Chains A and B, each alone.
Chain A
Amino acid sequence: MAQGWNPGGTSFWKDVWLRLEKNKPAMFGLVVVIIFSAVAIIAPLLSPADPLKTDLSNRLKPPGSPSEICSNGVYILGSDEFGRDILSRILFGARVSLSVGIISQVLVTAIGVTMGALAGYYGGKVDMIIMRIADILFAFPDLLFYIGVMFALGPSIYNVFIALALIGWAGMARLVRSQVLYLREMEYVEAARAQGLSDARIILRHILPNCMGPIIVSVTMGIPGAILAEASLSFLGLGVQPPTPSWGNMIYAARSYMLTNPWYSVWPGIAIMITVFSFNLLGDGLRDALDPRLKR
């Protein structure tokens, strides 16, 4: 946050990067996240086949079976119940899963941090109203809420973002509020007030940068949660609509073949696991790197 003050010195974010760089697990997480994101973006170039193209004569083939629809002639990860190439579907599924995870968390963070900061900083009635709404959302069964929103807005990936954000902000707001309640009593906030800083500037420069750690950890935990929630919705027919592949709807499609063709459900499972694991490693590393007091 070293705005306008950087004559040759290391800035705050440069410092963070230097510390993150030394953290091997976090760098592993970061690299995997970047690779997966890149894969999602250039999926059409990498996929051996059209993920929607069926070949009913080659249904549920094990990995390595010869294929007529794949450009390399082999189902590297096998084929699904319609003879589609699982590898291609996973590559394209990364687009859905990552965008659901990331975009929904961006929305959750935007709404949750704003609400939490307002509630914590101003207290009183503002706090009462915001936190009671959050409590109601907490008391509501998540899945029921998603279903309600999807029925109201119609099933589409955009409405999945909205549904996840509408309920997810409450947890973020609660987290940020508790941090703000603590931080607003700090003497440096009083010093800022004594200098006549506006509330907005106090919140943006003195309070929020000091709750970055918990927010980032919460986001990295939220991304896998959102990926799984999208899977549940797809299963119920309210999320991403087949035949568009997502890791969630692939697992649910594979559940019927769990005993006969276990590899079918394993691939999207591994994809989700690696993504979730990488985000968690990255989140932990960022939390350490963002705290200048934790210098090793």
Chain B
Amino acid sequence: MTVAGIPLIEVNNLKKYFNVGRGAVLKAVDNVSLHIMEGETLGLVGESGCGKTTMGRTIIRLYEPTSGQVLFEGKNVHKLDGQQLREFNRKAQMIFQDPYASLNPRMTVGDIIGEGIDIHGIYKNKERTDRIYELLGVVGLNKEHANRFPHEFSGGQRQRIGIARALAVEPKFIVCDEPISALDVSIQAQVINLLMELQQKLKLTYLFIAHDLSMVKYVSDRIAVMYLGVVVELATSEDLHNRPLHPYTQALLSAIPVPDPETERKKKRILLEGDVPSPINPPEGCRFAKRCRYAKPVCTEQQPEFKEVEKNHFVACHLY
């Protein structure tokens, strides 16, 4: 499933630290490097608080990075201005986690979707209206919905409106920040299928953020696993599932229930001990060392390098 081609996005040594007062620094994203190919879906998984969302937001400029850079089509997105910035704002969009907080309750659905069109002056008057109707159709709503307010819709419908808003500016790249975790299970599949359909049709590139590995496996070409601000493993979706290398990835995968009672009973779950350490002053060396079954002395002393151990399979672990 790997998509060959040129990287649309390159993230180089990205760091995003937050000052949380009294000299304490929260290292939400700590020295992450990866790239996203044009037309692919890169899944980003990890527990809550591991920095996935911060990473997504920094990539589309909602946050300024502490250091490092994000290149979009070869240009540093945090250094853009004028026309190039406007273009980036069109090409890179985001779909948010909470469909109840991501739509302005004071605006009609038509205005919410139309705002991007207005700002970038893509269409006017009649064409604008037609485009809004078209977008509503694309996401499975109809044009009567344009004059309603967000509170009149269900969670799944609201998420569709959020998707239509992102699509309105004709983007190339969309950060999907846990787009389904706030939805009912019955609706999740619908939204996922819509996103994948749109990707096919519009040749979109996704950064798909989630904490549910099974869902990410289904949608992603490649998957990056994050733990406490660092990417610990990055591989194609199949590779990662068949041969997880990092002990943390192994533990995550073992937690996915299998829809077969026989296998499920025999399966051995790897139970992690302890809690995720605080990202404020994280431990020296490998961040996972304290909970790792294979931890060696070197793990608590030296931070493992993120290296390619097999073709297209990167891992940050002293075992390899």
Binding site for B on A (CB under 8 A): 1-10, 12, 15, 186-188, 190-197, 201, 205-206, 209-210, 212, 292-293, 295
Contact = CB atoms under 8 A, between A and B. Distances in A.
B108 A2 contact: yes
Contacts of A8: 147
A210 B60 contact: no
Interface of B: 57, 60-62, 85-86, 88-90, 92-94, 96-98, 101-108, 110-112, 114-116, 118-120, 129, 146-147, 149, 151, 162, 165, 169
Contacts of A191: 94, 96, 102, 162, 165
A194 B118 CA distance: 14
Given A188-B101, A191-B162, A10 B106 contact: no
B107 A194 contact: no
Contacts of A293: 105, 151
A5 B114 contact: yes
B111 A197 contact: no
A3 B111 contact: yes
Nearest to A201: B119
B119 A196 contact: yes
A9 B94 contact: no
Contacts, number: 97
A295 B114 CA distance: 25
Contacts of B89: 194-196
Nearest to B117: A195
A201 B105 CA distance: 16
Nearest to A187: B102
Given A7-B129, A187-B96, A292-B149, A206 B110 contact: no
A91 B70 CA distance: 69
Contact of B115 (A7, A9, A12, A192): A192
Given A8-B147, A292-B151, 7 more contacts: A2-B107, A2-B108, A2-B110, A187-B98, A190-B62, A194-B92, A292-B106
A125 to B, nearest CB: 16
Contacts of A9: 108, 146-147
Given A292-B151, A293-B151, A196 B86 contact: yes
What 7 A-B pairs have minimum CB-CB distances, sorted nearest first?
A196-B89, A9-B147, A187-B102, A209-B106, A187-B96, A188-B104, A187-B101
Contacts of A188: 101-104, 112
Contacts of B149: 12, 15, 292
Nearest to B143: A7
B88 to A, nearest CB: 8
8 contacts: A5-B114, A5-B146, A7-B129, A186-B101, A193-B62, A194-B93, A196-B85, A197-B115
Contact of B97 (A187, A206, A212): A187
Nearest to B175: A194
Nearest to B99: A187
A230 B127 CA distance: 54
Contacts of B92: 194
B20 to A, nearest CB: 16
Nearest to B57: A190
Contacts of B101: 186-188
B96 A5 contact: no
Contacts of B115: 192, 195, 197, 205
A215 to B, nearest CB: 13
A53 to B, nearest CB: 52
Contacts of B108: 2, 5, 9, 12
Nearest to B162: A191
B27 to A, nearest CB: 21
Contacts of B97: 187
Nearest to A291: B105
A176 to B, nearest CB: 16
A293 B85 CA distance: 36
A293 B165 CA distance: 22
Contact of B111 (A5, A7, A15, A201): A5
A1 B88 CA distance: 28
A192 B93 CA distance: 10
A288 to B, nearest CB: 14
A240 to B, nearest CB: 39
Contacts of B162: 191
Nearest to A212: B106
A116 B317 CA distance: 50
A293 B101 CA distance: 13
Contact of B105 (A4, A5, A195, A210): A210
Contacts of B111: 1-3, 5
A1 B107 contact: yes
Nearest to B148: A9
Nearest to A195: B116
Contact of B93 (A3, A10, A15, A195): A195
Contacts of B61: 194
A134 B57 CA distance: 34
Residue from the set A4, A191, A201 with the largest chain B CB neighbour count within 10 Å:
A191
